[in-house]
Amino acid sequence: MALERTFSIIKPDATRRNLTGKVNALLEAGGLRIVAQKRILLSRAQAETFYGVHKERPFFNDLVKFMTSGPIVAQVLEGENAVARNREIMGATNPANAAEGTIRKTFAESIEANSAHGSDSAENAAIEIAFFFSGLEIVG
Ligand code: ATP
Ligand code: MG
Protein backbone atom coordinates (compact mmCIF):
# COMPACT_ATOMS: atom_id res chain seq x y z
CA MET A 1 0.00 0.00 0.00
CA ALA A 2 1.13 3.54 -0.74
CA LEU A 3 1.99 6.12 1.89
CA GLU A 4 -1.13 7.38 3.62
CA ARG A 5 -1.87 10.23 6.03
CA THR A 6 -4.10 10.27 9.08
CA PHE A 7 -5.12 12.84 11.66
CA SER A 8 -4.27 12.42 15.35
CA ILE A 9 -4.91 14.31 18.58
CA ILE A 10 -3.06 13.99 21.86
CA LYS A 11 -5.97 14.74 24.20
CA PRO A 12 -6.04 17.07 27.25
CA ASP A 13 -5.60 14.27 29.82
CA ALA A 14 -2.24 13.45 28.22
CA THR A 15 -0.98 17.03 27.74
CA ARG A 16 -1.94 17.77 31.37
CA ARG A 17 0.32 14.93 32.53
CA ASN A 18 3.18 16.09 30.23
CA LEU A 19 2.97 12.91 28.12
CA THR A 20 3.30 14.43 24.63
CA GLY A 21 6.78 13.05 24.10
CA LYS A 22 5.89 9.58 25.40
CA VAL A 23 2.85 9.37 23.11
CA ASN A 24 4.93 10.57 20.17
CA ALA A 25 7.56 7.92 20.93
CA LEU A 26 4.90 5.19 20.59
CA LEU A 27 3.66 6.68 17.30
CA GLU A 28 7.20 6.80 15.90
CA ALA A 29 8.12 3.35 17.18
CA GLY A 30 4.97 2.09 15.44
CA GLY A 31 6.28 3.28 12.09
CA LEU A 32 4.45 6.60 11.73
CA ARG A 33 6.10 9.94 10.94
CA ILE A 34 4.76 13.17 12.49
CA VAL A 35 4.63 15.46 9.43
CA ALA A 36 2.67 18.29 11.12
CA GLN A 37 2.01 19.12 14.76
CA LYS A 38 0.62 22.00 16.81
CA ARG A 39 -0.49 22.54 20.41
CA ILE A 40 -3.80 24.43 20.61
CA LEU A 41 -6.75 25.07 22.90
CA LEU A 42 -10.01 24.14 21.16
CA SER A 43 -13.01 26.45 21.47
CA ARG A 44 -16.34 24.90 22.38
CA ALA A 45 -17.59 25.49 18.81
CA GLN A 46 -14.51 23.81 17.31
CA ALA A 47 -14.85 20.76 19.58
CA GLU A 48 -18.59 20.48 18.80
CA THR A 49 -17.85 20.59 15.07
CA PHE A 50 -15.00 18.10 15.30
CA TYR A 51 -17.07 15.53 17.24
CA GLY A 52 -20.35 16.48 15.48
CA VAL A 53 -20.92 12.87 14.45
CA HIS A 54 -21.51 12.10 18.16
CA LYS A 55 -23.88 15.00 18.93
CA GLU A 56 -26.85 12.74 19.71
CA ARG A 57 -24.84 10.52 22.05
CA PRO A 58 -25.36 10.85 25.84
CA PHE A 59 -21.66 11.54 26.41
CA PHE A 60 -21.45 14.42 23.87
CA ASN A 61 -21.58 17.38 26.30
CA ASP A 62 -19.04 15.81 28.65
CA LEU A 63 -16.79 14.97 25.69
CA VAL A 64 -16.84 18.58 24.45
CA LYS A 65 -16.12 19.82 28.00
CA PHE A 66 -13.20 17.39 28.28
CA MET A 67 -11.74 18.24 24.86
CA THR A 68 -11.76 21.97 25.75
CA SER A 69 -10.42 21.46 29.30
CA GLY A 70 -6.79 21.94 28.30
CA PRO A 71 -4.39 21.99 25.37
CA ILE A 72 -4.47 19.35 22.69
CA VAL A 73 -1.71 18.46 20.23
CA ALA A 74 -3.13 18.15 16.70
CA GLN A 75 -1.02 16.06 14.33
CA VAL A 76 -0.78 14.70 10.83
CA LEU A 77 0.82 11.24 10.74
CA GLU A 78 2.24 9.62 7.62
CA GLY A 79 3.15 6.03 6.91
CA GLU A 80 2.13 2.77 5.26
CA ASN A 81 -1.55 2.15 5.97
CA ALA A 82 -1.44 5.07 8.42
CA VAL A 83 -5.17 5.18 9.31
CA ALA A 84 -5.34 1.55 10.41
CA ARG A 85 -1.81 1.55 11.82
CA ASN A 86 -2.58 4.51 14.08
CA ARG A 87 -5.77 2.85 15.34
CA GLU A 88 -3.67 -0.20 16.26
CA ILE A 89 -1.08 1.92 18.07
CA MET A 90 -3.84 3.75 19.99
CA GLY A 91 -5.76 0.65 21.03
CA ALA A 92 -9.47 0.25 21.83
CA THR A 93 -11.58 3.28 22.83
CA ASN A 94 -12.04 1.88 26.34
CA PRO A 95 -8.57 1.42 27.87
CA ALA A 96 -9.88 -1.61 29.78
CA ASN A 97 -10.21 -3.35 26.39
CA ALA A 98 -7.01 -2.00 24.83
CA ALA A 99 -4.07 -4.29 24.05
CA GLU A 100 -0.83 -4.16 26.02
CA GLY A 101 1.63 -1.56 24.78
CA THR A 102 -0.99 0.64 23.11
CA ILE A 103 -1.28 4.37 23.89
CA ARG A 104 -4.65 3.94 25.57
CA LYS A 105 -3.66 0.87 27.62
CA THR A 106 -0.49 2.61 28.76
CA PHE A 107 -1.77 6.13 29.42
CA ALA A 108 -5.58 6.52 29.30
CA GLU A 109 -7.44 7.47 32.46
CA SER A 110 -10.94 6.41 31.32
CA ILE A 111 -13.11 5.68 28.26
CA GLU A 112 -13.52 9.46 27.90
CA ALA A 113 -10.06 10.68 28.92
CA ASN A 114 -8.38 8.20 26.61
CA SER A 115 -5.29 10.20 25.63
CA ALA A 116 -5.53 9.97 21.82
CA HIS A 117 -7.79 10.42 18.82
CA GLY A 118 -7.19 8.84 15.42
CA SER A 119 -9.23 9.15 12.23
CA ASP A 120 -11.38 6.09 11.52
CA SER A 121 -11.16 6.19 7.69
CA ALA A 122 -9.08 7.77 4.93
CA GLU A 123 -12.07 9.90 4.00
CA ASN A 124 -12.46 11.28 7.55
CA ALA A 125 -8.68 11.72 7.80
CA ALA A 126 -8.76 14.11 4.83
CA ILE A 127 -11.67 16.09 6.37
CA GLU A 128 -10.01 16.28 9.80
CA ILE A 129 -6.58 17.25 8.42
CA ALA A 130 -8.18 20.08 6.40
CA PHE A 131 -10.06 21.27 9.52
CA PHE A 132 -6.82 21.77 11.48
CA PHE A 133 -4.00 22.35 8.98
CA SER A 134 -3.22 24.24 5.79
CA GLY A 135 -1.15 22.47 3.15
CA LEU A 136 1.82 24.73 3.98
CA GLU A 137 1.96 23.37 7.53
CA ILE A 138 2.38 19.74 6.46
CA VAL A 139 5.93 18.75 5.57
CA GLY A 140 6.37 15.12 4.60
P1 ATP B 1 -11.67 8.95 18.71
O2 ATP B 1 -12.76 9.35 17.72
O3 ATP B 1 -11.44 10.00 19.80
O4 ATP B 1 -10.41 8.51 18.04
P5 ATP B 1 -12.79 6.33 18.93
O6 ATP B 1 -12.97 6.42 17.45
O7 ATP B 1 -12.01 5.19 19.49
O8 ATP B 1 -12.16 7.65 19.51
P9 ATP B 1 -15.55 7.10 19.24
O10 ATP B 1 -16.66 6.13 19.34
O11 ATP B 1 -15.37 7.86 17.96
O12 ATP B 1 -14.21 6.33 19.64
O13 ATP B 1 -15.71 8.12 20.44
C14 ATP B 1 -15.09 9.39 20.40
C15 ATP B 1 -14.61 9.73 21.80
O16 ATP B 1 -15.72 9.92 22.65
C17 ATP B 1 -13.80 8.62 22.48
O18 ATP B 1 -12.45 8.58 22.12
C19 ATP B 1 -13.97 9.00 23.93
O20 ATP B 1 -13.11 10.10 24.29
C21 ATP B 1 -15.41 9.46 23.96
N22 ATP B 1 -16.33 8.36 24.28
C23 ATP B 1 -16.70 7.32 23.48
N24 ATP B 1 -17.57 6.49 24.09
C25 ATP B 1 -17.77 7.03 25.33
C26 ATP B 1 -18.56 6.67 26.46
N27 ATP B 1 -19.32 5.58 26.45
N28 ATP B 1 -18.50 7.47 27.56
C29 ATP B 1 -17.74 8.59 27.59
N30 ATP B 1 -16.98 9.00 26.55
C31 ATP B 1 -16.98 8.23 25.45
MG1 MG C 1 -13.90 8.08 16.49
Written as one string, the DSSP assignment of 44-72 is HHHHHHHTGGGTTSTTHHHHHHHHTSS-E
pLDDT computed for residue 117 by the predictor: 98
For residue 131, count other CB atoms closer than 10 A to its CB.
12
Average pLDDT, the chain: 98
User: In which band, very low, low, confident or very high, does the pLDDT at 2 lie, cut at 50, 70 and 90?
Assistant: confident
Q: What is the mean pLDDT of residues 69-80?
A: 98
Cβ–Cβ under 8 Å, residues 22 and 107 = yes
Q: Which residues contact 40 (CB under 8 A, 6 or more apart)?
A: 71, 72, 74
Give the residue numbers annotated as catalytic, written as ranges. Answer: 117
pLDDT computed for residue 107 by the predictor: 98
Cβ–Cβ under 8 Å, residues 53 and 102 = no
pLDDT computed for residue 77 by the predictor: 99
Which ligand has its closest atom nearest to the C-alpha of 117?
A: 1
Counting ligand 1 atoms within 8 A of each CB, the residue from 64, 90, 104, 114 with the most, and so the one to mutate, is 114
User: In which band, very low, low, confident or very high, does the pLDDT at 1 lie, cut at 50, 70 and 90?
Assistant: low
Q: Give distance in angstroms: CA of 91 to centre of ligand 2.
A: 12
- Exposed / middle / buried, residue 44 (Cβ in 10 Å: 0-12, 13-18, 19+): exposed
- In this structure, the strands spanning 72-80 and 3-10 are antiparallel
Q: Give distance in angstroms: CA of 59 to centre of ligand 2.
A: 13
Which ligand has its closest atom nearest to the C-alpha of 6?
A: 1
Global pTM value: 0.97
125-140 pLDDT per residue, tens: 999 999 999 999 999 9
43 has a pLDDT exceeding 90? yes
